[in-house]
């Protein structure tokens, strides 16, 4: 034993650094923390891209089916309209005998559409009157199942137009007379912007990952430390409690932002190499860097909110059960974002998670964002984080922290 | 040296510590003895500045525990009740963390931790991660952590809790060594025999009040009992909470 001496306390920055590096190393050895990060990093891209891959595959299969194989079409009273039948056959329909009860066949789903030629069809056609036909279909069936019905409608409309044009010509009138308006469209959406599914899901997954990446540390360093009985000796060290909270918070930020960056990179890689033709999104290194910097204040908000909650709770379990809710809160503004698809402006760019969602969407779309709006988002999020951190420091300075 | 003067602390309507006064001098072992819930831990928590007293005053080497917390903590080593260690860190890293928080350099730490490992007989497990440590090994780690910065004043809150006979003997030896080099050692216990063997000065606390204090002889004297156990029962007025 050496002689006793009076000691001097360390500087604030060194104290924060000491706590920070201890928490980083400590949690680096925790398999649960690393699993969470790895999971968040892989889950998003895999989830999103497999969903899209399946959707695309289905579309492909169905459309291949439509163009290659004839569409089966049961017809009631085919004999009344031999020319129309010939036209439909040449348009890739296979005319079948209609079942006994055509309505029932459509209702039970064994047929998607059945064509009914009314008895007066031939007569009306000969007299130049509108010739009645009826298609039995089920409008409650959506999506690809409607292909047969749509195809049939289109074919019959074309047939009708062709005959109409011939009738006009026979009377010496140009068929052009009927085309009053020439309707053209031009879509200004960039190829990136058309990937609305990807654009809607991306902020959601990224924000969720940021929360998940910080959650474990937030709990372990506060409620966990308290539960394991190492908090009280720590509070007996000559370090201000604010410095302890800051060190713990910075460590949480590091893990959270590492998850954030890794998720962005894994999306970037996935977009580049996943064999999905309908996704034309690119996330270049420059975009990744911009999103990371511009949205970094959300890391501050998310982790500080987690720290407040974990400082308030008494045990690991209690913290964990509340944390589920806190992780969900930032996803609510994102749902509004998906529903409203608003333009970024002064009224919405101050909202944490909402504004970061907008920054991500606009950046991925390749559309320019006003720097002032980005600055507003970064500033307000940082300020809110400041409030949360002050709140946790206040919680730490209460005697109740010892439980 | 720790001087406590009429310290008070209440939690709601419960008066946990009621005008407790005593002095723990340097080079002596002072024992806070009392049944569970007597206010020992609350008194110690105020001394190591985790709690703020409602009234009274306490000085650690002349530093006020309310106004000069940093100076108080810098010159104090604390082993809290049921102290936990960081299980994913090695014993050495646990000790080094607290050393760094006390401003020690890596070079100082290497030397000091080896010294502590020898003193506390923990060389065998000093570089092992604390997960799976026995209670004795954990207590030694926590004690080494409390002593790493060579504090002049040492507070031990029920340090023998959960230790087996051999570990308790070892700890007793360590506490005696600390006293011999001039430290002020203040420790709490609800085990009368332990206090009798180890302490130069005994402060008996019951219901938040000092029931008796002094050397073992003085206490026997003032209570009129021959044996310390009877003196203890006499002082606190009941044998409730005793072993």
Predicted confidence (pLDDT) per residue in A89-100, tens digit: 888 888 888 888
Contact map slice: A 48-67 vs B, CB within 8 A: none
B240 or A252: whose pLDDT is higher?
Answer: A252
Question: A34 CB near a chain B CB, below 8 Å?
Answer: no
| Whether A236 and B151 lie within 8 Å, measured CB to CB | no
Residue spans of the domains in chain A: they are: 12-51+194-402, 62-178
H or E segment and range at residue B178? helix B165-180
Among B84, B85, B96, B101, the residue to mutate for chain A (most A Cβ within 10 A): B101
Count of all residues that appear for chain A in the document: 403
Residue B193 token pair: 């025999």
| Whether A19 and B101 lie within 8 Å, measured CB to CB | yes
Question: A399 CB near a chain B CB, below 8 Å?
Answer: yes
| Whether A399 and B52 lie within 8 Å, measured CB to CB | yes
Question: A230 CB near a chain B CB, below 8 Å?
Answer: yes
Nearest chain B Cα distance for residue A11, angstroms? 8
- Closest-CA residue to B46 (of B74, B23, B16): B16
Question: Is the per-residue pLDDT at A2 higher than 60?
Answer: no
Q: Torsions phi, psi of A71, nearest 5?
A: -85, 130
| Whether A29 and B88 lie within 8 Å, measured CB to CB | yes
CA A307 – CA A330 distance, rounded (Å): 15
Q: Would you give the DSSP letter of residue A100?
A: S
Name the most confidently modeled range: A129-133, A186-190, A340-344, B127-131. B127-131
| Whether B88 and A30 lie within 8 Å, measured CB to CB | yes
pLDDT reported for residue B239:
61
Which chain A residues are within 8 Å of B100, Cβ to Cβ? 10, 18
The CB density around residue B21, as the number of other CB atoms within 10 Å, is: 15
| Whether A4 and B74 lie within 8 Å, measured CB to CB | no
B227 burial type by CB count under 10 A (0-12 exposed, 13-18 middle, 19+ buried): exposed
- Closest-CA residue to A399 (of B209, B151, B142, B16): B16
A371 or A178: whose pLDDT is higher?
Answer: A371
Dump pLDDT digits (tens) for A29-83: 988 888 888 888 788 778 877 877 777 777 777 666 666 677 888 999 888 888 8
Question: A1 CB near a chain B CB, below 8 Å?
Answer: yes
Among B9, B71, B78, B80, the residue to mutate for chain A (most A Cβ within 10 A): B80
H or E segment and range at residue B233? helix B228-236
- Closest-CA residue to A301 (of A265, A374, A350): A350
| Whether A10 and B101 lie within 8 Å, measured CB to CB | yes
Residue A97 token pair: 């005998």
Residue A71 token pair: 């569409």
Which residue shows structure tokens 């190499």? Answer: A273
Which chain B residues are within 8 Å of A4, Cβ to Cβ? 150, 152, 181-183
Q: Which of A112-126, A266-280, B115-129 has the lowest mean pLDDT?
A: A266-280
Give the whole-number percent of chain A exceeding pLDDT 70. Answer: 93
Question: A104 CB near a chain B CB, below 8 Å?
Answer: no
Question: Is the per-residue pLDDT at A383 higher than 90?
Answer: yes
Helix axes A285-312, A354-365, angle to 10 degrees: 170
DSSP bridge partners of B214: B202
Buried b (16+ CB within 10 A) or exposed e, A318-337: bbbebbeebbeebbebbeeb
Complex ipTM, two decimals?
Answer: 0.92
pLDDT reported for residue A3:
43
> CA gyration radius for chain B?
18
Dump pLDDT digits (tens) for A156-170: 999 998 888 888 888
Nearest by CB to A7, from B74, B93, B119: name it.
B74
8 A C-beta contact, residue A32 and residue B87: no
CA A206 – CA A356 distance, rounded (Å): 10
Dump pLDDT digits (tens) for B89-122: 999 999 999 999 999 999 999 999 999 999 888 9
| Whether A236 and B50 lie within 8 Å, measured CB to CB | yes
Question: A4 CB near a chain B CB, below 8 Å?
Answer: yes
8 A C-beta contact, residue B39 and residue B147: no
| Whether A232 and B83 lie within 8 Å, measured CB to CB | yes
Q: Which of A111-115, A186-190, A393-397, B155-159 has the lowest mean pLDDT?
A: A186-190
- HEC-encoded secondary structure of A71-92: EEEEEECHHHCHHHHHHHHHCC
What are the E-state strand segments in A78-140? 93-97, 113-117, 133-137
CA B156 – CA B32 distance, rounded (Å): 10
Alpha helices in A176-284 (DSSP H): 196-219, 225-227, 231-235, 241-273
User: At the topology level of CATH, where does A62-178 sit?
Assistant: abc type-2 transporter like fold (3.40.1710)
Which chain A residues are within 8 Å of B83, Cβ to Cβ? 229-230, 232-233
CA A4 – CA B75 distance, rounded (Å): 10
Which chain B residues are within 8 Å of A238, Cβ to Cβ? 70-71, 73-74, 101-102
| Whether B83 and A228 lie within 8 Å, measured CB to CB | no
CA B168 – CA B161 distance, rounded (Å): 9
Residue A120 token pair: 């007066």
CA A322 – CA A397 distance, rounded (Å): 22
Nearest chain B Cα distance for residue A305, angstroms? 24
Chain B residue with minimum CA distance to A6: B75
Sheet containing B2-11, strands listed edge to edge, beginning at the edge strand earlier in sequence: B14-24, B2-11, B55-60, B63-64
Dump pLDDT digits (tens) for A346-368: 988 999 999 999 999 999 888 88
CA A365 – CA A236 distance, rounded (Å): 53
- Closest-CA residue to A294 (of A228, A247, A360): A360
H or E segment and range at residue B59? strand B55-60
pLDDT reported for residue B82:
83
Q: Confidence class of residue B243 from pLDDT cuts 50, 70 and 90?
A: very low
8 A C-beta contact, residue B94 and residue B116: no
A108 or A20: whose pLDDT is higher?
Answer: A20
- Closest-CA residue to A304 (of A400, A227, A393, A176): A393
Question: A19 CB near a chain B CB, below 8 Å?
Answer: yes
Question: A400 CB near a chain B CB, below 8 Å?
Answer: no
Q: Which residues contact A393 (CB under 8 A, 6 or more apart)?
A: A241, A242, A245, A246
Q: Which residues contact A64 (CB under 8 A, 6 or more apart)?
A: none
Residue A267 token pair: 């999306």
8 A C-beta contact, residue B209 and residue B35: no
8 A C-beta contact, residue A208 and residue A331: yes
Q: Which residues contact A353 (CB under 8 A, 6 or more apart)?
A: A207, A298, A301, A330, A331, A333, A334
State the average pLDDT over residues A310-333: 87
- Closest-CA residue to A300 (of A369, A189, A383, A242): A383
Chain A residue with minimum CA distance to B148: A1
8 A C-beta contact, residue A168 and residue A174: yes
For chain A, what is the mean pLDDT? 86
Residue B12: strand, helix, or coil: coil
Nearest by CB to B86, from A230, A239, A399: name it.
A230
A222 or A1: whose pLDDT is higher?
Answer: A222
The CB density around residue A25, as the number of other CB atoms within 10 Å, is: 15
DSSP bridge partners of B29: B185
Task: Indicate the pairing of strand A71-76 with strand A93-97.
Answer: parallel
pLDDT reported for residue A125:
86
Among A7, A16, A18, A246, the residue to mutate for chain B (most B Cβ within 10 A): A7
pLDDT reported for residue A145:
62
**What is the pTM assigned to this prediction?**
0.83
pLDDT reported for residue A283:
87
Distances (CA, A) of A49 to A41, A212, A291, B167, B174: 13, 20, 20, 59, 63
Q: Confidence class of residue B217 from pLDDT cuts 50, 70 and 90?
A: confident
State the average pLDDT over residues A311-319: 88
H or E segment and range at residue B18? strand B14-24
Which chain A residues are within 8 Å of B178, Cβ to Cβ? 1
A185 burial type by CB count under 10 A (0-12 exposed, 13-18 middle, 19+ buried): exposed
Q: Torsions phi, psi of B189, nearest 5?
A: -160, 155
| Whether A232 and B50 lie within 8 Å, measured CB to CB | yes
A192 or A160: whose pLDDT is higher?
Answer: A160
Count of A–B CB contacts within 8 Å? 108
State the average pLDDT over residues A337-353: 88
| Whether B83 and A399 lie within 8 Å, measured CB to CB | no
């Amino acid at each position: 034993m050496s002689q006793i001496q009076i000691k001097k306390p360390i500087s604030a920055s060194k104290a924060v650094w000491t706590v920070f590096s201890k928490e980083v190393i400590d949690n680096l050895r925790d398999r649960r923390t690393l699993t969470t990060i790895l999971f968040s990093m892989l889950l998003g891209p895999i989830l999103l891209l497999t969903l899209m891959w399946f959707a695309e595959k289905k579309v492909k299969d169905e459309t291949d089916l439509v163009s290659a194989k004839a569409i089966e079409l049961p017809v009631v009273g085919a004999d009344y309209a031999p020319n129309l039948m010939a036209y439909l056959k040449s348009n890739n329909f296979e005319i079948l005998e209609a079942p006994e009860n055509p309505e029932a066949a459509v209702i039970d789903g064994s047929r998607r559409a059945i064509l009914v030629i009314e008895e007066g069809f031939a007569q009306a056609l000969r007299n130049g009157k509108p010739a009645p036909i009826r298609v039995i279909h089920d409008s409650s069936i959506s999506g690809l199942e409607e292909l047969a019905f749509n195809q049939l409608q289109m074919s019959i409309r074309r047939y009708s137009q062709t005959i109409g044009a011939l009738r006009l010509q026979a009377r010496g009138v140009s068929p052009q007379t009927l085309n009053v308006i020439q309707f053209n469209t031009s879509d200004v959406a960039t190829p990136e912007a058309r990937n609305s599914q990807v654009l809607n899901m991306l902020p959601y997954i990224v924000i969720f990952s940021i929360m998940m990446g910080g959650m474990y540390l937030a709990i372990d360093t506060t409620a966990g430390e308290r539960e394991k009985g190492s908090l009280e000796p720590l509070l007996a060290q000559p370090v201000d409690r604010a410095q302890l909270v800051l060190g713990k918070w910075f460590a949480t930020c590091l893990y959270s932002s590492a998850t954030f960056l890794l998720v962005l990179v894994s999306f970037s890689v996935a977009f580049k190499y996943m064999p999905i033709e309908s996704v034309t999104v690119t996330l270049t290194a420059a975009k990744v860097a911009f999103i990371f910097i511009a949205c970094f204040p959300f890391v501050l908000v998310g982790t500080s909110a987690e720290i407040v909650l974990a400082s308030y709770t008494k045990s690991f379990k209690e913290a964990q059960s509340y944390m589920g809710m806190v992780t969900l809160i930032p996803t609510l503004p994102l749902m509004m974002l998906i529903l409203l698809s608003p333009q970024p402006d002064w009224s919405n760019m101050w909202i944490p998670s909402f504004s970061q969602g907008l920054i991500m969407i606009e950046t991925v779309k390749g559309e320019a964002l006003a720097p002032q709006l980005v600055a507003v988002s970064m500033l307000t999020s940082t300020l809110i984080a400041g409030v949360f951190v002050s709140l946790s420091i206040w919680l730490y300075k209460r005697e109740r922290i010892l439980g | 040296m720790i001087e406590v003067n009429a310290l008070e602390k209440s939690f709601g309507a419960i008066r946990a510590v009621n005008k407790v006064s005593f002095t723990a001098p340097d080079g002596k072992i002072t024992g806070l003895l009392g049944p569970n819930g007597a206010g020992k831990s609350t008194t110690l928590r105020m001394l190591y500045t985790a709690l703020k007293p409602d009234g009274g005053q306490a000085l650690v080497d002349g530093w006020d525990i309310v106004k000069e917390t940093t100076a108080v903590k810098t010159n104090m080593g604390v082993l809290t009740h049921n102290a936990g260690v960081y299980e994913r860190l090695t014993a050495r890293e646990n000790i080094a963390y607290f050393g760094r928080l006390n401003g020690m350099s890596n070079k100082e730490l290497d030397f000091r931790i080896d010294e502590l490992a020898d003193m506390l007989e923990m060389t065998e497990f000093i570089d092992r991660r604390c997960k799976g440590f026995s209670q004795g090994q954990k207590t030694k780690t926590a004690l080494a952590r409390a002593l790493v910065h060579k504090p002049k004043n040492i507070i031990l809150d029920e340090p023998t809790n959960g230790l087996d006979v051999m570990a308790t003997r070892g700890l007793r030896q360590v506490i005696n060594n600390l006293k011999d080099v001039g430290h002020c050692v203040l420790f709490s216990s609800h085990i009368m025999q332990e206090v009798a063997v180890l302490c130069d000065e005994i402060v008996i606390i019951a219901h938040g009040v000092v029931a008796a204090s002094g050397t073992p002889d003085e206490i026997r004297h003032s209570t009129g009992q021959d044996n310390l156990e009877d003196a203890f029962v006499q002082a606190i007025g009941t044998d409730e909470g005793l072993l």
